[in-house]
Amino acid sequence: MSTIAEIESAIETLPPEKVEAVFEWLQAHKAKLADEAVSHASLIGMWKGKIVLKPGWDEPLEDFKEYME
């Protein structure tokens, strides 16, 4: 059973006032998560153009050659 199906199944067993409480809790956390996403996006954006990756930066390191054979 998927997580969503489990949640739906659990909610179906609740009385109406508890369903409303769950909905309000979800709405509050949805807003909080959206605020955090905006905050993280602005932190990432502040580094734009300040980090430069040189050609070959992701090539295997000579020090680890013996482990990759």
Which pLDDT score is estimated for 33?
77
Residue 26 has pLDDT above 70, yes or no: yes
When pLDDT is averaged across residues 35-49 and rounded to a whole number, the result is 71
pLDDT tier for residue 46 given thresholds of 50, 70 and 90: confident
Residue 21 pLDDT: 92
Return the sign of the alpha-carbon dihedral for residues 58, 64, 66, 69. negative
